[in-house]
Amino acid sequence: MTWLVVGLGNPGENYSATRHNAGSMVVEALARSAGERFRKVRFIPVETAEISEGDERLILARPLTFMNESGPPVGSLAKRRRVDPSRVVVVHDEIDLPFGSLRVKLGGSTAGHQGLNSVVSGLRTPDFYRVRLGVGRPPGRQDPADFVLEPFSKKERGEADVLVEDAADAVRSLVRDGLAVAQDRYNRGGAGGADS
């Protein structure tokens, strides 16, 4: 069975270490641990790498568009590779979760996340899996849009690295063991339980 695992972020070196690229960092970690490299897909602005998890095949994808325009390449890739939205996992940053928290969920609201809104539009349904990495809210009156485009602070870096590795493990568990097991094992931090 084939899964499509999408790491949301912005393209280019300037953004690679920012909070907004947490999702992209996760698919990079999955590819790296399997010794695979990303390659550009013809005619679609996306890079992919393929790995296995048991009997499951995972197409790891990083859109080459800016995050708010992720939907069209994700939708086109899912259609080309014949992956139903029910086997799509989108990994993304989440300012509404405390820094370091992790949530695995199926469907539901996008909470105003523009990258997710675009993917919902591209797949024509909100019913896909999400792995949400908590990056926390900006301090004081800082604009959230500016906050997510900053790199993790030196103080946060170690915990951010752990969060990315745990999220990669959560993706593996989700495709191998199912949603309930992945939630039980990996959902952590912050208030509100699995569906918040």
**Residues 77, 90: Cα–Cα separation, whole Å:** 13
Q: Which is the catalytic residue, given 20, 62, 113, 172?
A: 20
**Residues 183, 165: Cα–Cα separation, whole Å:** 16
How many whole angstroms from its chain centre is CA 1? 20
Hey, what are 176's tokens? 């191998």
Count of CA atoms in the C-beta half-sphere (13 A) of 185: 17
Annotation says 20 is catalytic: yes
Q: Which residue has the tokens 């997710």?
A: 116
**Residues 137, 38: Cα–Cα separation, whole Å:** 31
Q: What are the catalytic residues?
A: 20
